[in-house]
Structure formats: structure tokens, C-alpha cells
Structure 1
Amino acid sequence: MKYLRQALVSLVILTLLTGVIYPLFIYGIGKVFFSNQANGSLIEKDGHIIGSSLIGQQFSQAKYFWSRPSATSGNSYNGLASGGSNLGPLNPQLVSNVQARTTALESNNPDHKPIPVDLVTASGSGLDPEISLAGAEFQIPRIAQARNVKPEQIQQLINQTAEYPLFGLIGEARVNVLKLNLALDQLSLNLTEQK
């Protein structure tokens, strides 16, 4: 009976520590020091939440940067279905998907430069909000033509919104597609007001 009592007391103490106190402590730290991240890194426009900087969105209009393809089933960028495509490099379905995406990019982009791999393959999560700088720069001619804007102005936006590797070592240079598209809309608005 003595061992049973000790076991139950240990269970209650550890449950309180690891199931109540520790989670509340971490929640408090998140809310105080990392409130934006703890709330989902939401992005607002005109007082309305339009997305998160952590989850990609699908853009299909020629005047916007397009995200990486989503591997989620059902609706694209479905956060509940996060996960990679699990298709191996020799899988016929992956080859077919990449060929279809390549054809779509070639038909919608006037300059037929080599297509960066991140524009035709899904990420590990299937929800990547970012594309490589090469992926963004590949799309400049299409967007410049659709918006009647100088390519240099779009390149400048890419440079301003780019995120670079941590300490120059960890990760690769990339740009958040939603933030970049919002900057594009602001650029168009500014140019319209100047006329």
C-alpha cells in the first residue's frame, strides 16, 4: 500500500508540473515575449486578417507572385492536411505534376528562363509561405507586364522584403509571397496616386 500511495502522489505532482504548470509557463512566455508568433503571425490589411506569414496561400492572377505548389489534399494550402506529397523522384505522379506545373509556368511567363525548382515542387509541409529569390525573380517579367510597372521596381520590392540566412549560414535567401504581394499592391497604389 505504501508504494501505491507514493506512485499516486508522484503521478499527481508530475501531472500538475508537466500538464498544468509548465504549459502555462510556456504560454505566458509566448504571450509576453513572442505575442505575434503565439497568435499565429497574422497579417492584417484594412483591419481584416488576410493570412499568416507562416502558411502559404494560392495566388493565380498574373499580377501577383505565385507561391510554391501545395501538396495538401483537397483545397490547396489546407493547414489541416499539412504534409509532403510523399512521392518519390521516380514516381510517375510526381513527374506528371512537375511537367504540368512547368507547362503552366512557361505559358504564363513571357521570358522562358530556367524555372527554379521551388516553383514546380511542393515543400516538406506543403504549406510553405516563401519562395526562393530565384523563384521571385523568375516571375518579374510576367508581373511587370500585368501591372505595367518597370521590372526594376519589382526587383527593388523583392530586395526590400527578402529574408536572408541566419548569420549568413542557416537557411537560404527567400521572400514571403503574401508580404511581397501586399508590397506589390502598395506599389501599384502609390504609382496610381502619383499620376
Structure 2
Amino acid sequence: MRALAASAVAAVVFTVVLGFAYPALVTGFAQVAFPRQANGSLIVRDGTVVGSALAAQGFTSARSFHERPSATTPPYDAAGTTFSNLGPTSPALAELVARNVRAILTLERPYNPGLTIHDIPVDAVVPSGSGIDPEISPAYAQLQARRVAAVRHLPLATVRRLIARSTAGRSLGFFGEPGVNVLELNLALDEEQDG
């Protein structure tokens, strides 16, 4: 009986500590130290939430920059983040990459004559680890620049300036690679045209 009572007390204590106290402490710390990130890094325009800086939106219009391919089902579903789990020798990965290469060539070649598969950055054809990465490489952004400039009737130099302005460096100066947040870049383009 004593063992049963000790087990019940332990269950209650651990439920209170791990189920309530610890999550409340971590949430409180996050709200103080990182309020933007703790609340989803939401991007608001004219009082309306237009997206999160942490999740891809699934842009498909020719007038917009496109993110990396999505690994979620349905595509760009933040509630179902997942990775593809396809290894480098997987025939399914090879077919996915080939399909994405064909789509990029079809979309971008009219604006980039002479574009070959060797000019396409890896992040343009392979999903990210989360499946909804909001950033693309500066190289992929530059590949899309001519299309976006032509469709939006903007000077290419203006689009490239906005890409440069939207490019974030490596975390802490040495982690990862520079990246361009696609939602923020597309919003900057909208503001450029509206302004």
C-alpha cells in the first residue's frame, strides 16, 4: 500500500512540475526574452496578419518569388511539418528533383535564356528539413529576379536591391548560410509598387 501511495504522490508531483510549472516557466521566459519568436514571428500589414516569418506560404504566382519545394501534405501546411525522409540514393528523390528541375526550367527559362540545370541552386529543387522553410538562398532569389521584374514591370536593379536588402547573413556570423525570407521579400516588392 505504501508503494502505491508513493507512486500516486510521484505522479501528482511530476504532473504539476512537468505538466504545469515547467511549461509556464519556459513560456514566461520566452515571452520576456524572445516575444516575437514566442508568438510565431507574425508579419502584420494594415492590421492584418499576412503570415509568419518562420513558415513558407506557398507562393505560386509568376509575380512572386517562390520558396523551396514543400515536403508537407498538403503543400506548405504548417500544421503538418515533416521531412521527406528520402535518402540520396532514393529513386523517389531523383524523380522529385527531376520534376522540380523541369518546373524551374519551364518557369524561369523565358526570362533567363540559356538557363541550364547546372544554373539551378539545390534549394530550388529539394525540400528543406522542415518542409516549409521560409528562406531561399540568395542564388535562388537571383535566379527568379528577372521573372519577377518582368512580370511586375519593375527595373531589374530595383528587384536586386530588394533581394540584397532582404538577405540575412549567417546566424551569429558563422552558423548556416545567408538566406532570403520569401514572404518579407514579396511584401517589400508589393510596397515598392504601391509606394
With the length of structure 1 as denominator, give the TM-score of the two structures: 0.88
Equivalent residue in structure 1 for 2:140, among 114, 135, 138: 135
Structure 2 Cα separation of the partners of residues 52 and 175 of structure 1: 14
- Greater shift, 4-13 or 122-131, is seen at 4-13
| Residue correspondences, number | 189
Partner of 1:186: 191
Partner of 2:51: 51
Q: State the Cα deviation string for residues 32-89 of structure 1 (Å, max 9, x = none).
A: 332221221111222211211111111111111010000112x211123211112222
Q: CA deviation at 1:3?
A: 4.9
Residue 24 of structure 1 aligns to a residue whose secondary structure is helix
Cα distance change, pair 14–96 in 1 and its aligned pair in 2 (3 A): closer
With the length of structure 2 as denominator, give the TM-score of the two structures: 0.88
Partner of 1:91: 90
Q: State the Cα deviation string for residues 117-162 of structure 1 (Å, max 9, x = none).
A: 1011101111111101111111111111111212111111111111
Q: CA deviation at 1:27?
A: 1.5
1:103-182 correspondence to structure 2 within 5 Å:
103-109=102-108, 110-111=111-112, 112=115, 114-182=119-187
**Amino acid of the residue matched to residue 122 of structure 2?**
V
Structure 2 Cα separation of the partners of residues 122 and 77 of structure 1: 11
- Greater shift, 96-105 or 64-73, is seen at 96-105
Partner of 2:79: 80
Contiguous gaps of at least 5 residues in structure 1: 191-195
Structure 2 Cα separation of the partners of residues 84 and 9 of structure 1: 40
Residue 139 of structure 1 aligns to a residue whose secondary structure is helix
Structure 2 Cα separation of the partners of residues 181 and 135 of structure 1: 14
Structure 2 Cα separation of the partners of residues 3 and 80 of structure 1: 42
**Amino acid of the residue matched to residue 30 of structure 2?**
G
Cα distance change, pair 153–35 in 1 and its aligned pair in 2 (3 A): same
Q: CA deviation at 1:91?
A: 2.5
Q: Give the root-mean-square deviation of aligned CA atoms.
A: 1.7
Residue 139 of structure 2 aligns to a residue whose secondary structure is helix
Asked if residue 38 in structure 1 is aligned to residue 20 in structure 2, the reply is: no
Residue 175 of structure 1 aligns to a residue whose secondary structure is strand
Q: CA deviation at 1:174?
A: 0.2
**Amino acid of the residue matched to residue 150 of structure 1?**
P
- Greater shift, 147-156 or 124-133, is seen at 147-156
Structure 2 Cα separation of the partners of residues 11 and 66 of structure 1: 49
Structure 2 Cα separation of the partners of residues 54 and 46 of structure 1: 20
Asked if residue 100 in structure 1 is aligned to residue 99 in structure 2, the reply is: yes
Q: CA deviation at 1:31?
A: 2.3
| Identity, % of aligned positions | 41
